Structure 1
Amino acid sequence: MDAQEAKDVLDKLANREMDEFRIKKEDFLSFREVLVKREDFKHFRGNAQHNGEIIYTYLEEARS
């Protein structure tokens, strides 16, 4: 996954165009690199799954 794809996915989550997004283990580092640079970083929640997959959702209130 490249940076533009990650940005598009994160924008869709933030705009409620998607409820959740499942990221594969091999794409995690490139995805996270884009995620942590966002101002609304703390609104995203990652829920770890089996085999290194993570399901990301967007929260109304920022996590602490």
Structure 2
Amino acid sequence: MENQYTDFLEKLKLGEIQEIVVERDDFFVFREAWLARSDRTEFVGEAGLNGKIIYRYLEKKK
């Protein structure tokens, strides 16, 4: 079974979506997809209430 966050992370990078909201119960599933990416440092998370994290893609300037 494919990790749904793999697709979400790619869409976020391409600008098709603006953010990913990860609930506390889904964090380890998200983390698995995030760790598999070579550009993972460009996904920035902002902590919210009750363990919710909002991720956005911020491409580093070269």
TM-score, normalising length from structure 2?
Answer: 0.89
Structure 1 unaligned spans of 5+: none
Aligned length: 61
Structure 2 unaligned spans of 5+: none
Detail structure 1 runs of 4+ shifted over 6 Å in the superposition: none
Structure 2 residue 19 is matched with structure 1 residue 20: yes
1:48 touches 1:54 (CA, 8 Å); kept in 2?
yes
**Alignment partner, residue 41 of structure 1:** 40
- In the TM superposition, 1:46-61 aligns within 5 A as 46-61=45-60
Instruction: State the identity as a percent.
Output: 39
Q: CA deviation at 1:3?
A: 4.3
Q: Write the letter of the residue equivalent to 1:9.
A: F
